Amino acid sequence: MTLIEKIPTLSDTELKTLLSNARRLDVTGTPAQRRQVAEVMTPLEREDSRRRAARSKTAISAKSALRDS
C-alpha cells in the first residue's frame, strides 16, 4: 500500500503531522524531498479539506439541533 492509499486511513493527528512535515519539506527540503512531497501534497491537502468540511457540517448540524430544541 502506498502512502497516498493510506491517507484516508490516517487519524486526524497523523494527517496533521504528515501535512505539516510535507509543508516544511516543500520549503526547506532537498530537491529530491521536494519532488516526493509534490506527489503527496495534493492528496494530503484534499483529505484535510474533506475532514474540515465534515467537522464543520457536523458542528452546524449540532448548533441547529440545539437551537431547535
Q: How confident is the model at residue 63 (pLDDT cuts 50, 70, 90)?
A: low
| Banded model confidence at residue 57, pLDDT cuts 50, 70, 90 | confident
Domain that holds residue 40: 3-68
Only one residue has cell 501535512, namely 19
Number of domains, the chain: 1
48 vs 67, which has greater pLDDT? 48
First to last CA, the chain: 46
Q: Is the confidence at residue 44, as pLDDT, over 70?
A: yes
Reading the block at residue 68, the C-alpha cell is 431547535
pLDDT of 26 reads 97
d(CA 30, CA 69): 56
pLDDT per residue as tens digits for the range 1-37: 999 999 999 999 999 999 999 999 999 999 999 999 9
State the Rg of the chain over Cα. 16
